[in-house]
Amino acid sequence: MSKIENGVAEATFENVPEGTYAIVLYHDKNGNKQMDFDANGMPLEDYGGSGNAMSYGPPNWEDCKFDFHQEKLEMEIRL
C-alpha cells in the first residue's frame, strides 16, 4: 500500500532477487482493500500493470512481465 500525494503514489521493493516479475496495482478509492466491480464485472476503480498495456480486460502476465537483473530499477505504471 502507498499513499497518493500530488496525484502520484510511490512504492519501493527491497532485497528482490533476480528473476521475472509482473506488477499489477489498483487505486482503492473507497479504502475497502479490494478491487470493486459493477454488476457486469467492469472495474469501478482504476488499475494498471507493469508494461502499461492498454487492453479491454485485466492485466495479463505476458503484457506485464519484465526481467529484473539489476540492483535498482525504476518504472512508471499508468492507471
Start-to-end Cα distance in the chain: 15
Would the pLDDT of 71 be above 90?
Answer: no
Q: Where are the alpha helices (DSSP H) in the chain?
A: 61-64
27 CB neighbour count, 10 Å cutoff: 13
Instruction: Give the span between the Cα atoms of 73 and 67, in whole angstroms.
Output: 10
Question: pTM to 2 decimals?
Answer: 0.83
pLDDT at 9 over 80: yes
pLDDT greater at residue 37 or residue 53: 37
Per-residue pLDDT, 40:
93
Q: Are 73 and 50 in contact (CB under 8 A)?
A: no
Q: What is the DSSP letter of 49?
A: E
In the block, residue with C-alpha cell 519484465? 66
